[in-house]
Every structure is written in C-alpha cells, then in structure tokens.
Structure 1
Amino acid sequence: MLFESPSKGRLTIESMFGEILGYISEAPNARYKLIIGSDSHTRHETIFVTAVVIHRLGKGGRYFFSKSQRRAIKSLRQKIMYETSLSLNVAAQLTDLLQKSGHPDLDVEIHIDVGQQGETKDLIREIVGMVTGSGYHAAIKPFSFGASKVADKYTK
C-alpha cells in the first residue's frame, strides 16, 4: 500500500511513518494524536481513500492518503464495514511501527464516516464496537474529520 503526501509525493508506509516521526521531533513536547480514517465514493466502481493524519493538538498537522478502487459496492453497510477495516488495517501496521520505534504511547484514533444524522445512524454501535474492540479510540461525525473531510477530499 502506497501513500501520497501533498508535499512529499508517493511514500511506502515505512517512509510515511518516518515523516510522522520527523514531524513529532520538530516539537517533541507538544501533544499529538495519530488519526486514521477512510471514506468511499461509488460511481462505476467504488473508490476508497484512507487518510493518516498526525495532529499536533492546537497547532495543525500533516496528512497522507492511500487510494484504491474495487467493484461497485451498493450496500451502505458493506461500504462502511470495508472503510473501517481499511482504517483498522493501517492502524495495526502503524501501531506495530510505533511499538518498534519507542512511541507506544501515541494516541491512535479511528475516524469513522458515520453519524447521528442520516442513513448511517443505525450502524454506529456496530462499527464503533468493531473499532473499540480492536483497541482503538473511535470518533464519529461531526468529530471524524479524518474520514469525513481529509479522506473524502480524495474520493471524487
């Protein structure tokens, strides 16, 4: 899986992780949150985008994204489940890299493209349970900007 950076171009997950560590080293006393969120858009096929955001709390952040496409998925539940599984997969890889690099305490949060308004409200409990059961914090709309803003920007 390759990631894109608006300023660094194409990166492997290891290179992206190096960029994240470099960003943290610029202000090591700041508080950070590592955010992973996915979104999708269906036309003839379904485009999936997974975003990774390193957020320096109160001071901005940097982001990376990975884009893939699959056959058209019409079921909203299936799309949300797949989006969440993509985010969890990337989170697991990054968590492993965090452990190996001596940063196991970095807060990792999964942003899910579901909310109390609209069609996805019936999926919240199941999807949040999937994320928290995997050991991560979950954020839903309107707080899930990693999915609903960053990833969404690249699905079209």
Structure 2
Amino acid sequence: MHFTSPTRGIMTIHEMTENIRDYIQEDPHARYKLVIGTDSHTNRQGTVYVTALIIHRGGKGARLFYRKLRTKPMMDLRYRIYRETELSLEAVRLLNQNGINKLLLDSPVEIHADIGNNGDTKKLIQEIVGWITSIGYIVRIKPYSFGASSAADRFTN
C-alpha cells in the first residue's frame, strides 16, 4: 500500500510512518492529533476513494498524506459511506502495525466521516458513529470532519 505526500511524493506505509516519526521527534513536547478521513466521488467511469491522514501539531502545522483507490462505479450511497469508513479504519490499523500507536500514546486519533445532519447521509450517522466509537476512536461528522470533507475531497479528481 502506498500513500502520497504532496511535498515528498509516493511513499510506502513504512516510509510514511518514518516521516511521521521524524515530524514528532522535531518537537516531542508538542501536542499531536492524528486525523484520518475518507471521501469518494462517483461517475460513469468509476468511484474514486481518497483516504487522507493528517498529523497535526497543535498550533504549529501539520503533515498530510493520502491514498487513492479506484473501483468500478458504486452508486449506492450507503455502501460508499461504509466503504469510506472501512478504508479509514484500515489506515489506522496499518499505522498501528507500523508503530504509530506507540508514538502517539497520549494523542487522540480522530476518524472523520463524510456524513452529516443535512442530506441523505443523516440516516447513517448513528450506525457509522456507533461503529467507530465502539472500536475506541473519536469520530467527527460534518461540519467538523475536515479530514474527509476537505482534505480527502481535494484529491478525489
């Protein structure tokens, strides 16, 4: 699995983890937050899922990485939202397997879901929020889910 850094290009999960580790070691006393969100766009050619990972240093910037996945067109909104959530949780799992959880022991992990109280996704809020919180992560929905609705959305073209 590969991720892309807008400034450093394509990276393996191991290279990305090392980059995050270096970023944290630059200022080990700062407060950090890991934000992960996935967004998707569908047209006749297919569906593009983008998972964004943001390591935020409180008040002092952030680093962004993203992964793009293309599939056949998926018109079913419920399925797409579930797949977006699954991809975000998969990214956290991969990061944890590469030691991020040890680096960020006291730092929150937020999963940003591209759902909100307006529109067709409002009927999915209880299910998606319940799923993410049952695993132990903080969940944010629109308008507070910038990881999905802004960062990931930016790369879905």
TM-score normalised by structure 1 residue count = 0.94
Answer yes or no: is the 8 Å Cα contact 1:95–1:104 preserved in 2.
Answer: no
Answer yes or no: is the 8 Å Cα contact 2:47–2:70 preserved in 1.
Answer: yes
Residue 105 of structure 2 is matched in structure 1 by 104
1:65-93: CA deviations, max 9, x gaps?
A: 00011111111110000000000001112
Residue 87 of structure 2 is matched in structure 1 by 86
Could you tell me how far apart the structure 1 residues matched to 2:131 and 2:72 are? Answer: 24
Structure 2 residue 52 is the aligned partner of structure 1 residue 59: no
Could you tell me how far apart the structure 2 residues matched to 1:21 and 1:153 are? Answer: 25
Aligned residues, how many? 155
Answer yes or no: is the 8 Å Cα contact 2:33–2:55 preserved in 1.
Answer: yes
Residue 28 of structure 1 is matched in structure 2 by 28
Answer yes or no: is the 8 Å Cα contact 2:32–2:104 preserved in 1.
Answer: no
Answer yes or no: is the 8 Å Cα contact 1:50–1:147 preserved in 2.
Answer: yes
Q: Larger % of strand: which?
A: 1
Letter in 2 for 1:8: R
Could you tell me how far apart the structure 2 residues matched to 1:139 and 1:79 are? Answer: 18
Residue 78 of structure 2 is matched in structure 1 by 77
SS in 1 for 2:56: strand
Calculate the aligned-residue CA RMSD, in Å.
Answer: 1.2
Residue 11 of structure 1 is matched in structure 2 by 11
Cα displacement (A) at 1:104: 2.9
Could you tell me how far apart the structure 1 residues matched to 2:105 and 2:146 are? Answer: 23
Could you tell me how far apart the structure 2 residues matched to 1:117 and 1:58 are? Answer: 30
Cα displacement (A) at 1:102: 4.8
Could you tell me how far apart the structure 1 residues matched to 2:86 and 2:11 are? Answer: 21
Answer yes or no: is the 8 Å Cα contact 2:34–2:53 preserved in 1.
Answer: yes
In structure 2, the gaps of 5 or more residues are: none
Residue 42 of structure 2 is matched in structure 1 by 42
Could you tell me how far apart the structure 1 residues matched to 2:106 and 2:63 are? Answer: 19
Compared with structure 1, are the counterparts of its residues 137 and 54 closer, same or farther at alpha carbon in structure 2 (3 Å cutoff)? same
In structure 1, the gaps of 5 or more residues are: none
What is the percentage of aligned positions where both structures have the same residue?
A: 49
